[in-house]
Structure 1
Amino acid sequence: MKKLIKFLFTSVALFLLLNGCGEPGPVGPEGPQGPPGPEVLPTSFEFEADLTQSNGFEFFRDIPTQIEVFESDVMLAYVLEDYIPEDDLEVWRQLPITDFNSRGTVQINFDYTFVDIRIFMDANYNLGSIDEYEDLLIRAVHVPAAFLNTNKAMKLSDINTLSELEQMLGVEVQNFKM
């Protein structure tokens, strides 16, 4: 049995080795330019979220109908952390955000489906009214898979700010006003 397996393995290896030998054939004529593909760009939308005891520390927002989300797409979420008026500069921070306080650890995070995005709080202690966050300005960024596939070096896990995302993608993210 061992000899049979060794014979088959050797035969396959020899076949692959000899099959790759030989001179390459001539290069054929170049075909016509194909039609341009659809322009697929990341888009974003903003909304305010309240994370309070009355809503179970979660907030849902429908994704605008102009944005079609597919299973292979990526959604990122940012919260407006600060505004620097002298430079007219917004400071955005990517979710999740973890806060360590005297009661323990609390995290603001998100998840999404094809139709909505959910912003929520989670903690390793019982959340109370002291932990409420109101009027959080959230920017959700939809990155289509078709756009991802055209960017070989894309590593979304290395992106920490919206401006880094725009710089890496080489585009300015379009805004949908709600």
Structure 2
Amino acid sequence: MKKIGTLILSVILFVACTGDTGPPGPQGPNGINILGSVFEVTVNFTPQNNYSALIDFPQEIEVFESDVVLVYRLENVIPDSTGPIDVWSLLPRTFYLDNGSQVAYNFNNTFLDVELFLEGNTNFSNLDTFYTLDQTFRIAVLPADFASNPDLDLHDIEQVIQSLEMQQDNFSIQKL
């Protein structure tokens, strides 16, 4: 009798747990939590700031120690019939000067800020202002899972931004 009772109870539970499945939940990007942000800054590298600039992350951008920070320099703006096209290069970026010396844009970061700086084997005070004044950078903060995607070319800022736009509803580039 015990066996029949157990069998009946099992059938009741099985039937009670079956039925129409509910609507599917939202589809995520393979379990990756995307909270990336991109913002722009324009700085001058001068003797007064020791050819460096310390940029605090905006308050609305939460940066974790595990996040990946990438910095891109605006190299050129190409005119086009649809509007200007920005050309960006991932740092570090080295330029070889006519006199045989070199100058490089580089950065380091914490989860609080990014330091942009010039380095090289030249006298920075003799550099053309092309290298020192009104330098625009895009700073991208990416979750480590997102940045480790082998299909993502981190050298291409447009691909990074397009990937973030597909993953975020309210993506925007902030200009500081």
- TM-score by structure 1 length? 0.67
Structure 1 residue 165 displacement after superposition: 2.2
Instruction: Summarize the alignment of residues 3-152 of structure 1 with structure 2, pairs less than 5 Å apart.
Output: 40-86=34-80, 87-88=82-83, 89-101=85-97, 102-130=99-127, 132=129, 133-148=132-147, 151=149
Q: Gaps (5+ residues) in structure 1? A: 1-28
> Are the counterparts in 1 of residues 147 and 154 from structure 2 also a CA contact under 8 Å?
no
Structure 1 residue 131 displacement after superposition: 5.1
Between the aligned partners of 1:63 and 1:134, the Cα distance in structure 2 is 21
Structure 1 residue 71 displacement after superposition: 1.3
Between the aligned partners of 1:103 and 1:131, the Cα distance in structure 2 is 15
> Are the counterparts in 2 of residues 83 and 91 from structure 1 also a CA contact under 8 Å?
yes
Cα RMSD of the aligned pairs, angstroms, is: 3.1
> Are the counterparts in 1 of residues 70 and 139 from structure 2 also a CA contact under 8 Å?
yes
Between the aligned partners of 2:175 and 2:154, the Cα distance in structure 1 is 24
Give the structure 2 partner of residue 12 of structure 1: none
Read off the aligned partner of 1:54 and give its amino acid letter: Q
Structure 1 residue 174 displacement after superposition: 2.8
Give the structure 2 partner of residue 166 of structure 1: 161
Aligned length in residues: 144
Between the aligned partners of 1:44 and 1:103, the Cα distance in structure 2 is 35
Structure 1 residue 83 displacement after superposition: 1.2
Structure 2 residue matching 1:51: 3-state secondary structure: coil
- Percent identity over the alignment is 34
Structure 1 residue 147 displacement after superposition: 3.8
The C-alpha deviation readout for 1:144-173, integer Å capped at 9, x for no partner, is: 235447x4x356xx5322013235667386
Structure 1 residue 63 displacement after superposition: 0.4
Read off the aligned partner of 2:55 and give its amino acid letter: R
